[in-house]
Chains A and B, each alone.
Chain A
Amino acid sequence: MTNEVFAIEVNSLTKIYDKVPVVNSLSFNVKKGEIFGFLGPNGAGKTTTIKSILGLIRTNSGGIKINGIDISTDGKKIKKNIGYLPERVAFYQNLTAVQNLNFYAEMKNVPRGECINLIMEMGLKESAHKKVGKFSHGMRQRLGMARAMLGNPSILILDEPTGGLDPRGVKLIREKIRELNKKGATVFVSSHILSEIQAIADQVGIINRGRLVAKNNVSTLSNELKIKPKLILELKEVSEKTIKELKKIEGVEKVEIRGNKIEIICNAETRAKVIVAIEKAGGNIINMQTTEPTLEEVFMKYTEE
């Protein structure tokens, strides 16, 4: 029997607001060094869970451990190893980017020099000495990421880190997440952008109505849900005859036409039959590809009403 120490352990966490359980007996673990994607529809309890992990809100029941230490016993010590990017990034408006980071750096006994380095890393060199009150949402988000990285924390908790960012900002934050993870940091990231999570997360947890409905890697979750890969065929022309022939094939579950493309959901064994049938019907295949089930499909299945 192994006694693995997890980066984050959430045990039967319950938080009730106005007699409504926003988080209901939620339990999950995040292994050290992994990127954990935390998903759920709006109001599912993601931010409440994150705030509970950080001790920002009082929970009704349950326990939370960070690196094996109960947050209620030594919150200050634990927080030295945590970097947090909130969903709503806020700074002191009348202070510059550097002054803001210097203030937070003092809390962690981080040398001031690190602040300007992080600001530059996040592409804010030109704005380092501008008041944050004049920053755009995207700039604040980048500065928020810099703040979360102060002191090289072993756990990063990011709540919607790419919300409202332009594609360049999204790319930068994604790269930072990967870079920090490579250096050994555990990343707990909640996001609405499912493709983002699919691209970076090792494990995914899906929360719905305050309960964890799924936790695994994306491919395992797809298998559990029996979501099959898609076969996408690009034809010179899609005829009625071709569609009829395809629908006759045993094992073909769904056929969708998008212009001159046909999307087919079927078993791997059926794919050959599909191609033969198209050619028999006079179809001319220009291009062919298969796509793995997306996290969006998994997410929709688990959170459907």
Chain B
Amino acid sequence: MILNPIFYIAKKELMDNIRNTWIIIISIIFALLTILASYAGSYDKEWQSLELTISVMILIVQIVVSIIGLMLGYAAIGGEIERGSMNSLLSFPISRLEIIIGKFLGLGAVLSLTLLIGFGFAGIIISLNISNANFGGYLLFIGASILNGLVFLSLSLFYSSFFKTRIKSMGMAIFTWIIFMPILWALITGMILIASVSTEKLMAGLIPDWYFAINLINPQSAYSGLVSINIIELEADTVTSLPSFYNNGVLLSLILIWIIVPLILSYILFKRRDV
């Protein structure tokens, strides 16, 4: 019984995005980027393995999927309140918790479908041109990329519940992307340089454990870590010795925490908000 309103909200969000062809456009972009990364990503102009394609795509996912997640959710709550449709919705038999969950699931489905279609189509094209395609690894990469997108969707829902206007929420979403992409990366890299870790050591893969620990503040690092340790096989002499806490359990837990905590905060704020 409780599932019904959640389902209707989720369905509406999904259908809205299908109607405005958003899913199709972004899926095509992802498919083209992946095919391009596989085919044109090497000097010899030959199709690369799925593993190598993924290693190129990690950065693209970090840049683009985070933006998609943020843009999908930044106006989900505040935007409806601003437009005036939220008070009508809440006059119907639906709770605020159901609205938050419904929006998250619906927008999450949009994001998941986009990645599944885009990467799926590209994966089929690539696998037709290479031998011994690692389908399991590729599926894991798609799954991890979806989780990475859900982190930013959850964050944007939190901003949407917190800020009174769409503009402020969007501003915070952009700020978040800047923080988690260039700024945090530059800060942590700067810290390792300040800590006088020699370039030779870095090149040899001798990176201190604390660097990995601090890096995990960033959900994007947890995502790239999760994909790297499971899929990408680096050559032996460049393999960095990873700390023991860099494992599936920890990395996956961190990503899930980044999804669940903002979602809970989002509900708490929305519950207290006048519409």
Contact partner of A55 (CB less than 8 A), chosen from B12, B88, B90, is: B90
Contact string, A43-74, partner B, CB cutoff 8 A, digits 1/0? 00000000100111110000000000000000
Known contacts A90-B83, A92-B85; is-contact A82 B91 (Cβ 8 Å): yes
Alpha-carbon distance A75/B85, docked complex (angstroms): 19
Main secondary structure of the interface of B (DSSP, over half): helix
Stretch touching chain A among B48-56, B92-100, B134-142, B201-209: B92-100
Question: Which residue on chain B has the smallest CB distance to residue A104?
Answer: B92
Closest Cβ–Cβ distance, residue B27 to chain A (whole Å): 20
Alpha-carbon distance A56/B88, docked complex (angstroms): 9
Closest Cβ–Cβ distance, residue B268 to chain A (whole Å): 13
Contact partner of A107 (CB less than 8 A), chosen from B84, B85, B93, B272, is: B93
CB atoms of B94 and A57 under 8 A apart: no
A76 CB-CB contact with B under 8 Å? yes
Which residues of B1-40 are within 8 A (CB) of A? 4-5, 8, 12, 16, 19-20
Question: Which residue on chain B has the smallest CB distance to residue A57?
Answer: B274
A230 CB-CB contact with B under 8 Å? no
CB atoms of A103 and B93 under 8 A apart: no
Known contacts A56-B275, A94-B20, A107-B5; is-contact A51 B93 (Cβ 8 Å): no
Alpha-carbon distance A144/B84, docked complex (angstroms): 12
Which residues of A148-166 are within 8 A (CB) of B? 157
Which residues of B55-107 are within 8 A (CB) of A? 83-85, 87-95
Question: Which residue on chain A has the smallest CB distance to residue B91?
Answer: A84
Contact partner of A76 (CB less than 8 A), chosen from B84, B85, B95, B274, is: B95
Known contacts A86-B84, A91-B85, A107-B5; is-contact A56 B91 (Cβ 8 Å): yes
A226 CB-CB contact with B under 8 Å? no
Which residues of B218-265 are within 8 A (CB) of A? none
A31 CB-CB contact with B under 8 Å? no
CB atoms of A54 and B91 under 8 A apart: yes
Question: Which residue on chain A has the smallest CB distance to residue B94?
Answer: A107
Alpha-carbon distance A88/B4, docked complex (angstroms): 27
A32 CB-CB contact with B under 8 Å? no
CB atoms of B16 and A75 under 8 A apart: no
CB atoms of A86 and B87 under 8 A apart: yes
Alpha-carbon distance A187/B92, docked complex (angstroms): 17
Known contacts A82-B91, A94-B16; is-contact A89 B275 (Cβ 8 Å): no
CB atoms of B85 and A103 under 8 A apart: no
Closest Cβ–Cβ distance, residue B154 to chain A (whole Å): 23
Alpha-carbon distance A122/B116, docked complex (angstroms): 43
Contact partner of A57 (CB less than 8 A), chosen from B4, B19, B93, B275, is: B275
Closest Cβ–Cβ distance, residue B20 to chain A (whole Å): 7
Residues on the B chain within 8 Å of A90, using CB: 83-85, 88
Residues on the B chain within 8 Å of A144, using CB: 88
Which residues of A98-141 are within 8 A (CB) of B? 103-104, 106-109
Contact sample, A vs B, 6 pairs, CB 8 Å cutoff = A54-B91, A79-B92, A84-B87, A88-B84, A108-B92, A109-B4
A-B contacts besides A58-B274, A79-B92, A94-B20, 10 pairs, CB < 8 Å: A54-B87, A54-B91, A57-B275, A76-B95, A86-B87, A89-B88, A90-B88, A92-B85, A103-B12, A107-B93
B residues neighboring A (CB under 8 Å)? 4-5, 8, 12, 16, 19-20, 83-85, 87-95, 272, 274-275
9 A-B pairs closest in CB distance: A90-B84, A84-B91, A57-B274, A107-B92, A90-B85, A79-B93, A76-B93, A88-B84, A106-B8
